Structure 1
């Protein structure tokens, strides 16, 4: 099977959009990713998958920590910024959570300490133990079939008994 068919099939799985951040030698680094998942409740573990060609790979390997910023529907431009899709980078407002830079007003911010690193094909899976969380009530930014989407706003449907 060819790479395009595989990518198209994987694109049929709707995901949220995250920006993974870390800090190394006083500099903030980030990348857009949708390869994120929760792994365990006890202990609280999450996983991010980083490609072998991504600059972020060595940053996380050196810092041994990362934050997951789950983006709200209003933060599409931040996703595009960290994916290198904008002609001019935008000014990003960061705050701090658990000693890590996180994106201000993200839907959720999750700081993690790396507890395991697994090579899997052309990616490295970083399993992180969650050290802190902050959430807000907003709608998520979604990604499906290579495009950004938002939740549909449904009107309340009344049913009769």
Structure 2
């Protein structure tokens, strides 16, 4: 099987969309990530997987902390901006939660401190403890078969 065929098969798994954010050298940066999952309730752990070619790959290893913002269907433009599928055309609604940047208005936002990393092929898996969270009302944006979708 080739890489495109594998990617297409993995695209058949519907996921939510998150924005991973961190502060690095006086700059707030973020990226769209759908490789996100809960790992444990005690302690409260999550995991994200970041491609070694991503500009945040090394930076997350250095900062050791990041925010996760689970997006609503009304925040598709933010997903596209952080995925570099669209030019930034407005201010990004960033707030601080436990001192970590997150997207204001997300369905859920998590402040996380990295506990472990594991190299996995061309990605790094970051396992992090959730130190604070916030939830809001709304419906999630879904990513399936290469397209953004809603629950409707």
TM-score range, shorter chain: over 0.9
Structure 1 residue 58: Cα displacement: 1.2
Runs of 4+ in 1 over 3 A off after TM superposition: 87-90
Highest CA radius of gyration, 1 or 2? 1
Structure 1 residue 99: Cα displacement: 1.0
Q: Which residue of 2 aligns with 1:56?
A: 56
1:95-117 Cα offsets, whole Å, 9 max, x none, are: 01111011110111001000001
Aligned-pair Cα RMSD in Å: 0.9
Q: Which residue of 2 aligns with 1:132?
A: 132
Q: Which residue of 2 aligns with 1:119?
A: 119
* Structure-to-structure mapping, 1:78-157, within 5 angstroms: 78-152=78-152
Q: Which residue of 2 aligns with 1:75?
A: 75
Give the TM-score taking structure 1 as reference length: 0.92
Q: Which residue of 2 aligns with 1:156?
A: none
Structure 2 CA distance, aligned partners of 1:34 and 1:65? 18
When residues 112 and 12 of structure 1 are mapped into structure 2, their CA distance, relative to the original with a 3 A threshold, is same
User: Which stretches in structure 2 are left out of the alignment for 5+ residues?
Assistant: none
Give the TM-score taking structure 2 as reference length: 0.97
User: Which stretches in structure 1 are left out of the alignment for 5+ residues?
Assistant: 153-161
